[in-house]
Amino acid sequence: MRLILTFNEKGADHSPQRGAAILATISALVTIATPVVTGIFLFLPSSSVVPTTVLAVYVCVLTTVLLLVLIRQGVYHARQLQEQELRHSEQDADCARRLAELGAQHGEQLREQEIRHAEQLRSQEVRHTEQLSVQGRAARYAPAMIPLRKSFGSLANASWTMLEGDRSEDTFIRHLQNSLQFLAESFSLITDNPCRTSIKVTSAPANGGHIYDGLVTTLCRSDEDELDYATTRDQIGNNTDFRQILEDGLAYFISNDLVAEISKGYQNSHWTPQVLQSHKFKYRATIVWPISRARARMSSSPSPQEVIGFLCVDTPMINSFHETFDVPIGMTFAGGLHLALNRFREQQMRDRNGKTPDFVHGSDEE
């Protein structure tokens, strides 16, 4: 770009030099011509003043020529300085533009790195929190075994009362409630949230009605503050957990967010429109196990599941239960409860009207 110049630019660049050369030539000619002319006039007898005049003219012409040369050179150098300043300004502007572009690119790279770093930190924090939660929960199973052992001990006492003891209803219920309190304590330690447990008994629908018409009554609870639970009868068809266990033959029902299940059709006879509107739910997560006789695994043909009741655990905190580890605890308790509870129900019916109770039969499916 610097090597390609137009004719005008070349002329503009070399015109000061040509002018200086012309002035130098004129000065040289004047310098040579002045002595010659002066000598000629010296030999002329009638012109004695002429040499002085010629010399003065020579000095004036030479001085003028030198001034013109100096002015021309000054103008030339001033123009060069302006051109250099212009080029320097353009170079400075170009450098500033490039620096701004580099700064913008560097700033964008820094922002992207900060975003990636923040995402990595959040991901690591989530993983670390999950690991701590898993480790903390796993560590809580050990101390939970102490109240769990007491729970099964009270369950054994309740079973002994009905099978080999005096078959006192009050004694049986007292041992059963103690067992539920220890079981609730165990789940509270495991989940690190307050938990409640309860046992509900079923009654078959009258006159061979549909399974949905069967009723569920609370036999006892771990919390003693609700003393009117025995008078409440809930219809199986109005409760999704009981209905699915009986209809689909499920081994258990678990939900870690019951409120979210409402949009999927979850029903609970205790969740009235007022409760749904106020969102004042006593519990938001639950596990329900059927209390039934263990099926013969070698049986060639499936038989309906005889469900005499349900074991329930619930908590007001969502995402509290671990399906893999928590479900077997309640399943074992429900299995150990079946025989004594069945004997208790039979004795109740005989004491009242001399009849044995009818069971609610679930589906043949596992």
Cα(102)–Cα(353) distance, integer angstroms = 94
- The answer, yes or no, to whether residue 232 has pLDDT greater than 70, is yes
The pLDDT assigned to 129 comes to: 80
Instruction: Give percent of the chain above pLDDT 90.
Output: 44
Q: Is residue 217 included in any domain, yes or no?
A: yes
Assign 178 a pLDDT band (cuts: 50, 70, 90): very high
Q: Residues 146, 172: one domain?
A: no
Q: Report pLDDT digits (tens) over 8-43.
A: 444 444 555 665 566 666 666 666 666 666 666 556
Q: Residues 141, 270: one domain?
A: no
In the chain, DSSP finds a helix count (H) and a strand count (E) of: 7, 7
Highest-confidence segment of 73-82, 106-115, 192-201: 192-201
The pLDDT assigned to 364 comes to: 46
Q: Residues 176, 231: one domain?
A: yes
Domain that holds residue 16: 1-150
For 62: left if phi > 0, alpha if psi spans -120 to 50, otherwise beta; the answer is alpha
User: Considering its fold, how many domains does the chain have in total?
Assistant: 2
Distance of CA 190 to the CA centre of its chain: 26
Cα(255)–Cα(315) distance, integer angstroms = 11
Q: Are 235 and 215 in contact (CB under 8 A)?
A: yes
The pLDDT assigned to 48 comes to: 53
CATH number of the domain where residue 202 is located: 3.30.450.40
Q: Are 151 and 179 in contact (CB under 8 A)?
A: yes
The pLDDT assigned to 208 comes to: 66
Assign 284 a pLDDT band (cuts: 50, 70, 90): very high
Assign 204 a pLDDT band (cuts: 50, 70, 90): confident
- What does pLDDT average to over the chain? 81
Q: Residues 311, 339: one domain?
A: yes
Give 293 or 206, the one with higher predicted confidence: 293
Long-range contacts for 326-331 (Cβ within 8 Å, ≥24 apart)? 326/187, 326/190, 326/191, 326/287, 327/252, 327/254, 327/287, 327/289, 329/148, 329/186, 329/187, 330/183, 330/252, 330/287, 330/289, 331/251, 331/252, 331/289
Mean pLDDT lowest for which of 141-150, 178-187, 270-279?
270-279
Report the SS3 class of residue 107: helix
Cα(290)–Cα(173) distance, integer angstroms = 19
Q: Residues 217, 340: one domain?
A: yes
Q: Is residue 115 included in any domain, yes or no?
A: yes
Only one residue has tokens 């020579």, namely 58
Q: Is residue 160 included in any domain, yes or no?
A: no
Q: Residues 141, 6: one domain?
A: yes
Q: Residues 141, 179: one domain?
A: no
Q: Report pLDDT digits (tens) over 321-340.
A: 999 999 999 999 999 999 88
The pLDDT assigned to 210 comes to: 76
Q: Report pLDDT digits (tens) over 337-355.
A: 998 898 898 888 877 765 5
Q: Is residue 158 included in any domain, yes or no?
A: no
Q: Are 313 and 135 in contact (CB under 8 A)?
A: no
Q: Residues 177, 137: one domain?
A: no
Q: Residues 125, 3: one domain?
A: yes
pTM of the model: 0.64
- The answer, yes or no, to whether residue 366 has pLDDT greater than 70, is no
Q: Residues 204, 345: one domain?
A: yes
Q: Is residue 159 included in any domain, yes or no?
A: no
Cα(261)–Cα(263) distance, integer angstroms = 5
Helix, strand, coil tally for the chain in percent (to 5): 65, 10, 25
Q: Residues 196, 288: one domain?
A: yes
Q: Residues 10, 122: one domain?
A: yes
Instruction: Give percent of the chain above pLDDT 70.
Output: 74
Q: Is residue 282 included in any domain, yes or no?
A: yes
